[in-house]
Amino acid sequence: MELLETKVDSREIYRGKIITVHVDTVRLPGGKETRREVVEHPGGVGILALDHQGRVAMVRQYRYPMGRVVREIPAGKREPGEEPSLTARRELQEEVGATAGAWQDLGALLASPGCYGETLYLYLARDLTLGAPRPDEDERLEVDWVPLEQLVEECLDGTLQDAKTVAAILKVQLLLSKK
Amino acid sequence: MELLETKVDSREIYRGKIITVHVDTVRLPGGKETRREVVEHPGGVGILALDHQGRVAMVRQYRYPMGRVVREIPAGKREPGEEPSLTARRELQEEVGATAGAWQDLGALLASPGCYGETLYLYLARDLTLGAPRPDEDERLEVDWVPLEQLVEECLDGTLQDAKTVAAILKVQLLLSKK
């Protein structure tokens, strides 16, 4: 089956600090045309930072679109042109105050591929050295350290809901249990 | 630490077929003001449909914002006011042509809580009866059935990237292996 959709026209709606929104007319396989609403996002990273006691750095942060505090792994947006592996090092330092001696790529995630163009790169950070966090000026967050096993249970029972956080915790649990 | 951000002002940028975009001025704890770009989305569902042979229904679909075909579990947006469990039944019927005798709630996912207000509800569907798919008019998709164990490997090696798909597959793998 032919699946490709081709752009006929694109109308920019909004170019903001983080996101860009455009509405495109696309041609479907077979020739019919339809509209696609697209939100572009620079992409970001999520870091599962695991200490020598098997505990993971978890961040509590008010997420304005959700209207509540959400518990997540440390994460952040890429600066323009920044390599995701450098974004990960920068965000772990800023949000947790940690540097890591060992980094492992956990693969990419598409946050919501129907409308939202964000790709997230996940990393496992180990061999940690702790210092003082340096959050962005308009970022307020609390960090605590939680045993990986407890977080796995909180993914399975629905307590943890952030998609990158659930994906990273369950990936690490299954990868470590294979060894 | 005080984390709450309160709305000072909201400016609507775009009200589309699926998404609504607004830019809000918010007051941070401590009194400073900043802007938040918010994309509202009606929310949706993802369904991990598992047959009697341990195979999972996977959908291939062109995802225009990503510029490529993405492999995902069956999924879809909620109609206004629709209960997520009904959305799940409808989407499984439309995309896969299946009905399920047993449904299990797998929890909610926040796709990207920094800017994007989408909540996804995940379900495990079993005891399947297959019929003919009835996709939406502007939806082109291919369905195939893949062993759960293979999909777990494809999550761990980074081949599968859709966030709801990775979360649902790894949750089901860990839930079923507990029994």
Please name the residue of chain A whose CA is at the shortest distance from the CA of residue B123: A158
pLDDT cut 70: percent of chain B above it? 99
Q: Which residues of B touch A23 (CB under 8 A)?
A: 16
Model confidence, pTM: 0.97
Q: What is the mean pLDDT of residues A109-130?
A: 97
Alpha helices (H) along A35-103: 84-91
Question: How far A128 CA sits from the closest chain B CA (Å)?
Answer: 23
Q: What is the mean pLDDT of residues A77-86?
A: 94
**How many CA atoms lie within 13 Å of B43's alpha carbon, on the beta-carbon side?**
18
Alpha helices (H) along A28-141: 84-91
Please name the residue of chain A whose CA is at the shortest distance from the CA of residue B141: A3
Residue-level length of chain B: 179
In terms of CATH architecture, what is B44-178?
Answer: Alpha-Beta Complex (3.90)
Amino acid at B78: R
In terms of CATH architecture, what is A44-110+117-178?
Answer: Alpha-Beta Complex (3.90)
The burial class, CB within 10 Å (0-12 / 13-18 / 19+), for A14 is: middle
* Distance separating alpha carbons of residues A75 and A87, to the nearest angstrom: 9
Contact B64, A36 (CB under 8 A): yes
pLDDT cut 70: percent of chain A above it? 99
* Distance separating alpha carbons of residues A168 and A75, to the nearest angstrom: 11
Number of CB pairs < 8 Å for A and B? 218
Positive or negative, the CA dihedral A55, A61, A65, A67 is: positive
Q: Where are the domains of chain A?
A: 6-40, 44-110+117-178
Mean pLDDT over all residues of chain B? Answer: 96
The answer, yes or no, to whether residue A178 has pLDDT greater than 90, is no
The answer, yes or no, to whether residue A48 has pLDDT greater than 90, is yes
CB atoms A111 and B113 under 8 Å: no
User: Among A138, A161, A164, whose Cβ lies nearest the Cβ of B108?
Assistant: A161
Residue indicated by tokens 């620079």: A42
CB atoms B14 and A18 under 8 Å: no
Query: A54 is written with which tokens?
Result: 């098997």
* Distance separating alpha carbons of residues A29 and A43, to the nearest angstrom: 29
